[in-house]
Amino acid sequence: MRSRKLERSEWKPYSDRVSKALVGKRAEVEVVSLDLGRQVQAEWSPIYGLTFDPKDNLFEIALEGLDHLIRAPQEVHVLEGPEGLESVEIVDADGRRQIVRLKEPLALPPPEKA
């Protein structure tokens, strides 16, 4: 696994590129800060994409049933493994860490015919 900090100039192209690879994955979104503690915003929901809008200085994490917005991001860290992106951590202007963990959905075998 490899963790790295993305430069601001990488945020949009990186998010555009990985959004295509997120189709079919599940995500957990957790917000961590001293004032809030740890709060899970979404628990292994289908993820539709991760985008950065430089004009509005806004990250959007689109999940089934949740549109998680991160205003005024300050830092972005990604953890990549042999199978691709494993997690993204975005630190906002208030120092809150928004952690998006990714996993493949559980693949069950087809039901047996009776």
pTM for the whole structure? 0.88
What are the domain boundaries of the chain?
2-103
What whole-number distance in Å separates Cα of residue 68 and Cα of residue 62?
A: 6
Task: Write out the chain's pLDDT in tens, 114 residues.
Answer: 789 999 999 999 999 999 988 988 999 999 999 988 999 999 999 999 999 999 999 999 999 999 999 999 999 999 999 888 999 999 999 999 999 999 987 666 667 765
Q: Are 63 and 45 in contact (CB under 8 A)?
A: yes
**What does residue 14 show for φ and ψ, rounded to 5 degrees?**
-65, -50
Q: Which CATH number applies to 2-103: 1.10.357, 1.10.238, 2.30.29, 3.30.70? A: 2.30.29
What is the DSSP secondary structure assignment for residue 72, as one 8-state letter? S
